[in-house]
Amino acid sequence: MTSLAVAGALLAWLGAAAITVSDGRRALALGLALAGGGLGLPALQQAGPAAAAVLVAAAALSAGLRLRAGEPGWRVLQAGSTPRLILALLMLPLSAYVALYLISAEGGATRLAALTVAGLGAARMLSGGARSGALTGGAALALGLSLLSGQLGLVAGGLVSLVVSSLPVSDPEALA
């Protein structure tokens, strides 16, 4: 089952990397769905099928909510996204080093997935750009951090992801 968790960690990294380098709502939604699906595999091993199903369902619903607003289309690797691309490529080996070598206990793949998604989600929140990207990064951060706790944490992280994804994308000050 460890290989399943490693595959989930790689899928979660792919989704979080898509969130990091994208600005369009389709790419952000796909990235959030991939990250949630990838996190579901280590969660299955860690907390059981019920909690993993809640996490994956919350990620899928959050991705669906992300499709409703934001910049149209895919908008992957727009001008100025080179630093985010470099960060996305470096985050996987850095997280693998921290998860597998510095913390030598059991469950390194679970920590790898959590650190990768949480780190890239936080970076996307802080990188500026479209508000929809920052909200998607916040939802990914909640999903990633939820994997570091038990069953209740997975459910809470899924709920936080849903709440963040349901926030309005348009800037209230721009409408006034």
Kind plus residue range of the DSSP H or E element containing 171: none
How distant, in Å, are the alpha carbons of 27, 61, 161, 168 from that of 164? 17, 11, 5, 9
For residue 54, give every residue at least 6 positions away whose Cβ sits within 8 Å of its Cβ, in sequence order, or none. 154, 155, 158
pLDDT digits (tens, 9 = 90+) for 27-61: 899 999 999 999 999 999 888 899 899 999 999 99
- Tell me: pLDDT of 1 over 70: no
- Domain range list for the chain: 2-167
Section 154-169 average pLDDT: 89
The pLDDT-based confidence of 78 (bands split at 50, 70, 90) is: confident
